[in-house]
């Protein structure tokens, strides 16, 4: 039987869906307070189990009868207040998964990391799996947590664990809702007027899940793979989204100094009001970065694999509300 952690999440639920369609027996792990996502409701044959990533004994019980593990569970936040909790959940939770895989003699683990755990490329070059991550004080909490989580998997590999790591770029899809990557499209729908000169790597959630299954079913181990469909300027992503929603595209370019003022003002307002805002020091820095990611390593091993074009994903996101089946309100 296959265990999928984070099975109620955006990627985890799509992975469970694909595994089920392939006729594979799946035990889907979720928190006790988490609801089963819409795309998995009504599907029979999936075994659901409640467990907390920080509760080793609840995880140990979930491992009963398991031979393969997909580790998708992680806390994602760019809010400074969430940093300590995120670091603990992502790093310690992954350590528990790795330890249990070793203890239970699991055949193989596929771990979901992120391009945020990769280092910087040289100027004019794409980021590859060989990019060395080096802490320099500029990395945010999410990047640190994913790097430390990945280090736990490499530690397991050194101790004899058969494992593969995937490093997806920004994962997009119609089931993201208005959280996570869905915020990008929701901001444009609501009338975003500003853009930066940054670039963004994006990949469809279906492709990430499909690639993970292919890696699990292969003889490949002790490797990591970037999964990225395209690298696009943020302005182009915004324009494509605005076109699909039939709204005005962002037209005001925001420079570095304006972004600096912006995140400082939102931090002050947040401290006074207690409200959280999408613009933080970390997201402001990310929105200005011009980074290209290469999936060449993965595609060399799977030459027939075709990533869904980002524009196609954008059209799907903007033309249908996945939860209701209705077209979004303009």
Q: Which domains does the chain have, with CATH numbers?
A: 2-173+201-228+291-307 (3.40.50.720)
Tokens of 291: 């980074």
Cα separation, 96 vs 152, in Å, equals: 9
CA dist 253 → 84, 90, 197, 240 (Å): 33, 35, 8, 17
Pair 29, 18: CB distance under 8 Å: no
List per-residue pLDDT tens for the chain, 330 residues long.
Answer: 999 999 999 999 999 999 999 999 999 999 888 888 889 988 888 999 999 988 988 999 999 999 999 999 987 766 667 778 888 889 999 999 999 999 999 999 999 999 989 988 777 889 999 988 787 766 777 888 899 999 999 999 999 999 999 999 999 999 888 777 888 888 888 887 887 778 889 999 999 999 999 999 999 999 999 999 999 988 899 899 999 999 998 887 776 645 454 434 444 444 444 555 455 555 545 665 678 999 999 999 999 999 999 999 999 999 865 344 444 443
Cα separation, 253 vs 193, in Å, equals: 9
**CA nearest to 221, candidates 279, 262, 162, 167:** 162
Query: What residues have CB less than 8 Å from 24, skipping those under 6 apart?
Result: 2
Q: What's the whole-model pTM score?
A: 0.88
Tokens of 84: 């300590």
Tokens of 246: 């039939």
């Amino acid at each position: 039987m296959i265990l999928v952690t984070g099975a109620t999440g955006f990627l985890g639920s799509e992975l469970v869906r694909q595994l089920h369609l392939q006729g594979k027996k799946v035990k889907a792990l979720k928190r006790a307070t988490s609801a089963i996502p819409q795309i998995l409701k009504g599907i029979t044959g999936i075994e659901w189990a409640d467990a907390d990533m920080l509760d080793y004994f609840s995880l140990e019980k979930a491992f009963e009868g398991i031979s393969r593990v997909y580790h998708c569970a992680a806390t994602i936040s760019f809010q400074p207040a969430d940093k300590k909790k995120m670091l603990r959940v992502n790093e310690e939770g992954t350590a528990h998964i790795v330890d249990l895989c070793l203890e239970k003699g699991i055949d193989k683990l596929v771990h979901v990391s992120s391009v945020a755990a990769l280092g910087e490329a040289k100027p004019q070059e794409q980021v590859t799996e060989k990019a060395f991550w080096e802490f320099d004080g500029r990395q945010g909490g999410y990047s640190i947590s994913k790097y430390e989580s990945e280090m736990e998997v490499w530690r397991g590999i050194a101790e004899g664990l058969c494992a593969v790591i995937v490093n997806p770029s920004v994962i997009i899809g119609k089931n993201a809702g208005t959280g996570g990557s869905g915020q990008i499209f929701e901001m444009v729908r609501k009338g975003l007027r500003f853009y930066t000169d940054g670039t963004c790597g994006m990949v469809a959630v279906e492709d990430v899940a499909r690639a993970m299954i292919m890696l699990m079913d292969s003889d490949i181990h002790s490797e990591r793979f970037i999964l990225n469909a395209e690298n696009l300027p943020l302005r182009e992503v915004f324009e494509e989204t605005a076109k699909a929603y039939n709204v005005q595209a962002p037209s005001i370019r925001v420079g570095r100094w304006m972004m600096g003022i912006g995140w400082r003002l939102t931090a002050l307002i947040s401290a006074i009001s207690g409200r959280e805002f999408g613009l933080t020091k970390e997201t402001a820095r990310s929105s200005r970065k011009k980074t290209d990611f290469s999936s060449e390593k993965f595609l060399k091993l799977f030459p027939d694999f075709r990533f869904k074009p980002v524009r196609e994903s954008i059209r799907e996101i903007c033309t249908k509300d996945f939860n209701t089946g209705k077209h979004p309100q303009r």
